[in-house]
Structure formats: C-alpha cells, structure tokens
Amino acid sequence: MNLRRDVFQAIADPTRRAILLLVASQSLTAGAIAANFDTARPTVSKHLQILTECELLNQEQTGREIHYHINAKKMKEVADFIEPFRQMWDDRFNKLEAIMKNYKPNK
Amino acid sequence: MELKTKIKAEDGKQEMVITREFNLPVDLLFKAFSEPELIEQWMGTKVLKFEGKKHGSYQIETKDPKGNVAFKANGVIHEFKPNQKITRTFEMDNTPFGVQLEICVFEPVTDDTCKLNMHVIYESVAQRDEVLKLPFAQGINWAHNRLEEIVSKLK
C-alpha cells in the first residue's frame, strides 16, 4: 500500500528521524524545530510537511502558531515493523555500491 | 527508490538473514568489507582497529557532532576467506545487546554482480528484537536515545 511505504521512506531520512526525536518529548512550532538544525528553514518545512502527510506528526493551531506533536499511534505501528532496520542496511549498502563503483585501486 | 536489501527475521527466532545483490564484482564487495578506509565510508563510522585475518579483531567508533563518543563496537574475526566468507562477532560497548555472530558469505552471480548473505545470530530472541528496533535511535541524536525509550513506552 502506497501510504505505508511512504511512512517508511519518511523515517529513512536522518533529519526527519531527528525531528521525530525532538517532537517526541514535547510539541514544538516549526521555528523551534528548525532552530535545532543547520539546515535551511524551507528544508525543515518540507520535512515537516512529509511527516505530517504520513501522519507521524499532527498539527495543532494555537492562536497564530502551529504546534507539531507526535502521533503515538502511527509511531507504534511503524516501530513494530522491521522496515526501519532494513532501510538502514539498504542505505548503507547503496552507499557501499556507489563508493565501490567509483573505486580506483591506487597501486 | 527501489529497496534491494531483504531481511528475513521470523517471529520467535534468535537469528536473521540479510541478503542483498550488488552491481559489483564480488572482489569489490569483499574489499568494501575488509579495508578500513572503505568500511568507514559506507558504515559512517571510524575504524580504530581492523585485522582482516583469522583470529584478528576490530574496533569501530562513532562520535556525535560535538566530538563525544556516541557509539563503540568491537568484535573478533573467526574466518577470513578473501572474496568468499567472513565469520565475525559484533558487540556494541556499554549496551545490553550482547554479542552477535555474523556469517557473511560473498557470492559471485555474474562477472559484474554479486550477492551478500549475512546470517546474524543473537544471544536470544529478545536481544534480536531489541536490535531490530535500534534504527530509530541511531544516527539521530547520539547523545540521547530518547526516541527509543519513547517508542518502547508506546507498547
């Protein structure tokens, strides 16, 4: 199912995992989340959008601000699954393959 | 993006099998597993020690952006057959995960492609399952493994 795959792609990204970690302990505004990263603000916004679309984060409007908080139910669903572990190895192996394709033995 | 890596981890077993096909000749794959500077690149960790031989040992270490040691692991090599097989142990320092035995078999498929079969055996079913949950905590914020704690509380 498409949605499910998207969730796992969402958590395959290290920045997005870091965002989940931050938001896991307290709900935060986009600005407060972005302040934790060296990444450009629009990039962080994009990550937040993806996490929200995958229902890993919920948005809550309080006055003029939007707070993000973690969707525990969705997180649990993902955590019970082996997929993140596979993603981790797949990322490593993709990197390995890319490195070795460019490998020039220095004799 | 296509996922080429397959993992077989059956319920209630203390082992798993990771398989992956590479568009690389088998000797290049083996090199990536046996040369410290290459291991560092694809594993994203520092290799402190690596003796690619029978009875050899290795140590790896990853630091967080502030330079604190966030992850340390070590193991011994029981079998080192170039382009064929590496049997080794793997243990993360200061964690309750115990020692795992890894049997890595490198197999040519064609001249330019090959297959890796990693058979990983844990001390117990519970330990395997804990390790499977690790990617949540890994590479995120090494200083705090909070997400892992939080995920475990969701159970």
Q: What is the pLDDT along chain B (155 residues), one digit of tens a residue?
A: 456 888 888 878 899 999 999 999 999 999 999 999 999 999 989 999 999 999 999 999 988 778 888 889 999 999 999 999 999 999 999 888 899 999 999 999 999 999 999 999 999 988 887 788 776 544 333 323 444 444 445 44
R_g of chain A computed on alpha carbons: 17
Q: What is the pLDDT of residue B139?
A: 39
Report the length, in residues, of chain A: 107
The answer to whether B36 touches B61, Cβ cutoff 8 Å, is no
Nearest CA in chain B to A92: B42
Q: In this structure, what DSSP letter does residue B138 have? A: T
Q: Which residue in B has a C-alpha nearest to residue A9's C-alpha? A: B1
Contact with chain A for residue B6, Cβ under 8 A: yes
Q: Do A92 and B44 touch (CB under 8 A)?
A: yes
**DSSP 8-state assignment for residue B114:** E
Render chain A in DSSP notation, one character per residue. Answer: -HHHHHHHHHHHSHHHHHHHHHHHHS-EEHHHHHTT-SS-HHHHHHHHHHHHHTTSEEEEEETTEEEEEE-HHHHHHHHTSSHHHHHHHHHHHHHHHHHHHT-----
Q: Which residues does B85 contact at the CB level (< 8 Å), separation at least 6?
A: B79, B103, B104, B105, B106
Q: Measured between beta carbons, which residues in chain B are less than 8 angstroms from residue A87?
A: 3, 135
Sort out which chain A residues have CB atoms less than 8 A from B5's CB and list them: 86, 89-90, 93
Query: For a pLDDT cut of 90, what percent of chain A falls above it?
Result: 38
Please indicate if any CB of chain A lies within 8 Å of the CB of B1. yes
Query: With contact defined as beta carbons under 8 Å apart, do A97 and B147 qualify?
Result: no
pTM of the full structure: 0.64
This complex has an ipTM of 0.81
